[in-house]
Amino acid sequence: TSGNKAAFAAMKPWVAVIYIGPTGLESYLGATANCQSNNPTIIAYANGIVGNTTDPYEKAVKIFNWVRDCVEYSFYYNTTKGALGVLNDGNGNCCDIAHLIVALSRATGLAARYEHGTCNFASGTYGHVWAQIYVGAWFNADGSNNYNEFGVINNWDTSNYIHRGYYASLPF
């Protein structure tokens, strides 16, 4: 009431407070056969993309935007390249682009997972995979089309897709 701050008060940075997530995200932080988040090349790219950014949301946006803008979509089925192959080739299908987003995210300490669904595109109905990154909540990160934004999918109808599963590691 005096207008003076108490001598014992301590404030944590906002980022540290907001990003303390629920337990159970451990399976969404590790490397897998196609999500080589512990590979030195993946780690170097991830660190180069996020730079000095410490805010988890900003890290996720930078990773998503980089993949969306720098990787070309190529149509083929299932996983053939993994994250490192997409990084080396500069192109991939939805599965492999998702591998790269997930790997870069995990390499910077962000939990990331895959979502699989049957989706309605303007060209037809197809099986599709995209990434989700956890920054206080799960945000869609579909880097397979330049019309998409972090958290917003614009290139297919999200109101009527069939959800097939969430994965820490893709089974296909």
Contact 71, 92 (CB under 8 A): yes
Query: What is the rounded CA–CA span in Å between residue 106 and residue 65?
Result: 16
* 23 CB-near residues (< 8 Å, 6+ apart): none
pLDDT digits (tens, 9 = 90+) for 121-161: 999 999 999 999 999 999 999 999 999 999 999 999 999 99
Second-level CATH architecture of 37-167: Roll (3.10)
Q: What percent of the chain has pLDDT over 90?
A: 86
pTM of the entire predicted model? 0.87
**CA 47 to the chain's CA centroid:** 15
Domain boundaries, the chain: 37-167
pLDDT, tens digit, 9 for 90 and up, residues 83-123: 999 999 999 999 999 999 999 999 999 999 999 999 999 99
pLDDT at 23: 72
